[in-house]
Structure 1
């Protein structure tokens, strides 16, 4: 069901947002190293988890790479896919819909992630810290401005039967 996607995508993005921030920034205070970065990079064993993409760094004489987890692609992708379905069902144009703006928001979020990575001298960044405000934030703000936020949240939901109705 379509309404499940909006609620599930919002809940997953919100939970993953907190999860990402905790394991990258707060776990070093508890475990003396960032657990997320250690697991993703394979630490000293050299074995990395298969749930990430390695993106080569351009102009890096040592041939290094940056990593992005599949969750950083899949969770915001659910919301972007929902926005496409919502636009199609409402026969919205490219500019007055949500899909284009969420796609642009995702691209801006990725740019901000890599900018932060560069500015923090390569220290791992939780991508969802930048992607969630640029996707979930965009759809919530646009929906609120357009007066469509309740319709976005309840999209595809059937009205409940009143007591005594069949």
Structure 2
């Protein structure tokens, strides 16, 4: 599966999630595609339904890891998500879905977290920040996001 994230228009996506910035005028659309869209896009490396997967999301946090990320940083981030963050957040109230998007050309990543409330985003972020590292995890390979944006989910 693939994704595009921005203001571009065009039909044919398998799923569209329209977003309106919480503290600003910005609007973007996350489009999910069965095949790589013309002009490229992100590869969907992770699409995890969370505890409240049956609920309609109301808010989204988009974390940008600008890159370019080395193979070691990408692997460390994937491991951190798979073995530490996702298990800790699997039963977190209000979390609907997490998507990990990877741009292999620019070697950058977006993580989109969909929740039922702003409180879920805030409390979930606190929980993640307090998680202890796993044995063998190198904090130098886990730089954290370069940018975080908050959105209301419009559709």
* Structure ranking higher in helix proportion: 1
Please give the range of the TM-score, normalised by the shorter of the 2 chains.
under 0.3
Flag the structure with larger Rg. 1
* Structure ranking higher in strand proportion: 2
TM-score, normalisation: structure 2: 0.28
TM-score, normalisation: structure 1: 0.26
